[in-house]
């Protein structure tokens, strides 16, 4: 997993999304729901597919980057939030209590099955 800290990091991640799906987890260190969601995110990452790349952004420390993600994906900012992006388009997202390791995993498997036949 890589950390997104700048708007340039966002742009680089979206370039990666042109050749493989990426996930961006948006975390707020001052939000109680983020404390729960990050455990699900970390549980997902412990078994995550190598077909995808994974990023995390602290929405407080990297506010301009977080806003850039919202602007480029056209997905309204929420935190905690997980975005699955392929070819610079957000194809799935979840937020708050909807962030569950099993749900993220199933979305990954469904996407990979669809695009690999």
* pLDDT score of 115: 59
Partner residues linked to 58 by β-bridges: 27
CATH topology of domain 2-116: Glutaredoxin (3.40.30)
* pLDDT score of 49: 82
Q: What is the spatial distance between Cα 56 and Cα 65, in angstroms, rounded to a whole number?
A: 11
What is the domain partition of the chain in residue ranges? 2-116
Q: Kindly report, residue by residue over 35-55, the tens digit of the pLDDT.
A: 999 999 999 999 988 889 999
Helix or strand (DSSP H, E) at 110: helix 101-116
Mean pLDDT of 95-114: 88
Phi, psi of 4 (to 5 degrees): -95, 120
Q: Kindly report, residue by residue over 11-42, the tens digit of the pLDDT.
A: 999 999 999 999 999 999 999 999 999 999 99
């Amino acid at each position: 997993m890589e950390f997104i800290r700048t708007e340039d990091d966002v742009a680089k991640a979206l370039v990666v999304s042109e050749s493989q799906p990426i996930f961006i987890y948006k975390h707020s260190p001052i939000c109680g729901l983020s404390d729960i969601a990050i455990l699900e995110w970390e549980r997902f990452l412990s078994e995550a597919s190598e077909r995808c790349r994974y990023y995390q952004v602290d929405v407080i420390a990297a506010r301009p980057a977080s806003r850039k993600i919202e602007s480029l994906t056209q997905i309204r900012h929420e935190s905690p939030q997980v975005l699955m992006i392929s070819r610079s388009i957000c194809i799935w997202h979840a937020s708050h209590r909807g962030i569950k390791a099993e749900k993220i995993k199933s979305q990954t498997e469904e996407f990979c099955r669809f695009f690999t036949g």
